[in-house]
């Protein structure tokens, strides 16, 4: 039971680890959104710096007062409109991000509350089950409840801290951006007033030059407006894409968390079923043990009764044996006297038997000698019969094998170097498990343009043999132990020996088994004169 509680505790700890991983994933998403906000602020600052540089460049140019005022008013109106649009976009983005953060915080809080409720329900069920078991389980379940509460409080504190930090940092950044924009606006207005004072003196001399520069600047400002509109559209689409992706990730994570919690409920039910099964099994074992104790007590009482009856019977038997021993002692005394009288006659009879035994021993020795001579003759005859039977069996062994290879032309096309066709294993006179391989195009170590016939021999064979491939043979050969287990025969123009039906024959004949010295079993007898 303690092991089941420990397993349940480990499973709950695994679920808390998964919740921590979910929190870390949400933290990463919040960091990504903060990076996006920082990037947008940097882009806004870059655009403002570009406008500042443009104003610095224009302050060196002197233009007509009326034209410059009209241009300045248009530029100021355009700048005001752009600043208003940019501020409105920033505020919209800030509201959207705050809404997303609030939704994410609400979903996270709902998930945490659900996990808290489920965990509290599990703790309640475990406490209810543990109350019906032994006292040692109550301490383990109490420790498990404390660990769950501590982990829940840690998770809730971490989540609240992260969300508050993100909201504070976002508010601080937007406040700084607003102040920066106001400062830049004041600087631009001051620079415009100063430029008006400087350009009022020399507007007549630069009238023509101003017209050309106004045309160029109009074109450049139009390009800047288009680029700004495109950048704004791109930023808006990127924000929408990222928001959709974040929303999808949140939904997937929430669904996975629900599945994990469902698995936790299922595992808790399985644990409860196992605990119930253990309790029922424990009750059965208790009943069985009680029955066994009752049967043992009954058998002990029966054994005690039997022992008492046996003790009484043994006492009676001892008294009867005592009486029988007295009568037996008297009878034995009579028998001893009779045996003493008959021992003298038995001694004479024993002497006569000893004489008769010596005579019978001499007769048996003679009979054993005759039997040994007979068995020696029978062993010689049996050895002659065994040799003759072995020669007969060796004479009946086939000395010649014929291997027919069909579809020779097709095999010559298919079996390129070093492919081969192999015969089944066979046995001949003096050889066991022999096989033949035919390489139509040779193998890796054979000369070009020659076929190879490879013969695989057993390791202890010592024979003289001859091989024919069709009508070709290179004479007799001898194979001795200690050589290679295979013998190669090179064949030239082997296709000339193919028959009309597309097959050719490989014939091997054992001329003599050199492991057997009996020349009567050989096909040939070799005589040498030195």
The 3-state secondary structure of 445-501, one letter per residue: CCCCCCEEEEEECCCCCCEEEEEEECCECCCEEEECCCCCCEEEEEECCHHHHCCCC
Please determine, for residue 425, whether its predicted confidence score (pLDDT) is greater than 80: yes
Residue 309 confidence (pLDDT): 81
Top mean pLDDT of 33-37, 157-161, 287-291, 456-460 is at 456-460
The whole-number average pLDDT for the span 37-51 is 67
What is the per-residue pLDDT for 237?
79
Q: Is the pLDDT of residue 504 over 80?
A: yes
Q: What is the pLDDT of residue 63?
A: 46
What is the DSSP-derived secondary structure letter of residue 433? Answer: E
340 pLDDT exceeds 70?
A: yes
CATH of domain 397-513: 2.60.210.10
| DSSP string for residues in 254-274 | HHHHHHHHHHHHHHHHHHHHH
- The mean pLDDT value for 378-397 works out to 77
Q: Does the pLDDT value for residue 368 go beyond 60?
A: yes
Q: Any idea which of 3-17, 170-184, 350-364, 435-449 has the lowest mean pLDDT?
A: 3-17
Task: Give me the mean pLDDT over the 363-384 stretch.
Answer: 82
Max mean pLDDT among 52-66, 75-89, 127-141, 459-473 falls in 459-473
**Mean pLDDT computed over every residue of the chain:** 74
pLDDT over 80 at 420, yes or no: yes
| Secondary structure percentages of the chain, helix, strand, coil, to 5 | 75, 10, 15
- 3-class secondary structure, 509: strand
Work out the pLDDT band at 413, boundaries 50, 70, 90: confident
Which string of DSSP letters, residue by residue, matches 169-233? Answer: HHHHHHHHHHHHHHHHHHHHHHHHHHHHHHHTSSTTTTHHHHHHHHHHHHHHHHHHHHHHHHHHH
Is residue 454 a contact partner of residue 491, using CB atoms and an 8 Å limit? no
- Cβ neighbours, 10 Å, residue 479: 19
Q: What pLDDT is recorded for position 62?
A: 46
Q: What is the mean pLDDT of residues 277-304?
A: 77
- 250-254, Cβ contacts within 8 angstroms, sequence gap of 24 or more: 250/26, 250/29, 250/103, 250/104, 250/107, 253/22, 253/25, 253/26, 254/107, 254/111
Q: At residue 283, does pLDDT exceed 50?
A: yes
**pLDDT at site 338:** 79
pLDDT band of residue 333 (cuts 50, 70, 90) is: confident
Percentage of the chain surpassing pLDDT 70? 69
What percentage of the chain carries pLDDT values higher than 90? 0
| pLDDT tens per residue across span 306-317 | 777 877 777 787
Spatial CA neighbour of 65 closest among 177, 201, 185: 201
What value, to the nearest 5°, has the Cα angle with vertex 69 and ends 68 and 72? 80
DSSP 60-119: T----HHHHHHHHHHHHHHHHHHHHHHHHHHHHHHHHHHHHHHHHHHHHHHHHHHHHHHH
The rounded distance, in Å, linking the Cα atoms of 319 and 80 is 139
Q: State the helix-helix crossing angle for 2-58 and 65-130, rounded to 10 degrees.
A: 180
DSSP state of 526: -
Q: With cut-offs at 50, 70 and 90, classify the pLDDT of residue 443.
A: confident
Q: Say yes or no to pLDDT of 530 above 50.
A: no
Condensed to tens digits (0 to 9), the pLDDT of residues 212-249 reads: 777 777 777 778 778 777 877 887 777 778 778 877 77
Q: Is the pLDDT of residue 30 over 70?
A: no
- Burial of residue 243 (number of CB atoms within 10 Å: 0-12, 13-18, 19+): middle
pLDDT at position 511 is: 83
Nearest to 440 by CA among 506, 501, 487: 506
Give phi and psi for 407, each to the nearest 5.
50, 50
> Could you give phi then psi for residue 206, rounded to 5 degrees?
-110, 30
Confidence band of 411 (pLDDT split at 50, 70, 90): confident
Give every CB contact of residue 144 below 8 A, 6+ residues apart in sequence.
Answer: 5, 8, 9, 12, 123, 126
pLDDT higher than 60, residue 457: yes
Instruction: Check residue 423 and report its DSSP letter.
Output: P
Q: Which of 458, 451, 457, 456 is nearest to 472 (CA)?
A: 451
In this prediction, residue 40 carries a pLDDT of 63
């Amino acid at each position: 039971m303690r092991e089941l509680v420990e397993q349940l505790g480990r499973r709950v700890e695994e679920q808390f680890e998964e919740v921590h991983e979910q929190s870390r994933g949400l933290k990463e998403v919040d960091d990504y959104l903060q990076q996006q906000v920082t990037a947008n602020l940097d882009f806004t600052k870059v655009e403002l710096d570009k406008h500042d540089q443009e104003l610095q460049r224009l302050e060196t140019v002197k233009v007509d007062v009326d034209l410059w005022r009209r241009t300045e008013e248009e530029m100021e109106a355009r700048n005001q409109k752009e600043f208003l649009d940019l501020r409105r976009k920033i505020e919209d983005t800030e509201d959207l991000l705050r809404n997303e953060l609030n939704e994410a915080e609400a979903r996270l809080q709902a998930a945490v509350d659900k996990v808290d409720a489920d965990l509290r329900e599990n703790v309640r069920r475990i406490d209810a089950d543990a109350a019906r078991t032994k006292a040692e389980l109550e301490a383990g379940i109490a420790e498990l409840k404390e660990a769950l509460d501590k982990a829940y409080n840690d998770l809730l504190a971490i989540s609240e801290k992260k969300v508050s930090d993100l909201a504070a940092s976002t508010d601080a950044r937007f406040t700084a951006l607003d102040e920066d924009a106001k400062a830049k606006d004041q600087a631009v207005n001051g620079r415009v007033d100063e430029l008006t004072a400087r350009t009022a003196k020399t507007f007549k001399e630069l009238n023509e030059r101003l017209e050309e520069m106004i045309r160029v600047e109009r074109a450049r400002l139009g390009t800047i407006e288009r680029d700004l509109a495109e950048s704004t559209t791109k930023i808006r689409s990127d924000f929408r894409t990222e928001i959709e992706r974040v929303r999808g990730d949140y939904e997937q994570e929430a669904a996975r968390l629900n599945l994990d919690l469902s698995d936790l409920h299922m595992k808790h039910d399985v644990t409860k079923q196992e605990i119930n099964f253990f309790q029922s099994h424990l009750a059965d074992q208790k009943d069985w043990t009680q029955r066994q104790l009752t049967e043992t007590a009954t058998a002990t009482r029966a054994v005690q009764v039997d022992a008492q009856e046996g003790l009484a019977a043994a006492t009676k038997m001892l008294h009867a044996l005592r009486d029988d021993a007295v009568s037996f002692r008297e009878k034995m005394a009579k028998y001893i006297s009779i045996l003493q009288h008959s021992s003298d006659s038995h001694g004479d009879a024993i002497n006569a038997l000893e004489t008769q035994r010596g005579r019978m021993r001499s007769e048996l020795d003679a009979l054993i000698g005759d039997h040994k001579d007979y068995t020696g003759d029978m062993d010689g005859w049996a050895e002659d019969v065994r040799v003759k039977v072995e020669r007969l069996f060796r004479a009946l062994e086939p000395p010649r094998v014929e291997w027919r290879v069909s579809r020779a032309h097709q095999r010559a096309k298919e079996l390129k170097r070093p492919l081969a066709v192999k015969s089944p294993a066979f046995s001949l006179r003096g050889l066991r498990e022999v096989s033949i391989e035919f390489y139509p195009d040779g193998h890796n170590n054979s000369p070009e343009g020659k076929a190879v016939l490879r013969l695989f021999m057993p390791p202890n064979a010592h024979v003289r043999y001859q091989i024919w491939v069709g009508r070709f043979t290179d004479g007799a050969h001898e194979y001795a132990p200690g050589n290679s287990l295979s013998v190669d025969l090179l064949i030239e123009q082997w296709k000339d020996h193919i028959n009309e039906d597309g097959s050719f024959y490989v014939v091997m004949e054992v001329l003599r088994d050199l492991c057997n010295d009996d020349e009567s079993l050989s096909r040939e007898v070799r005589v040498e004169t030195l």
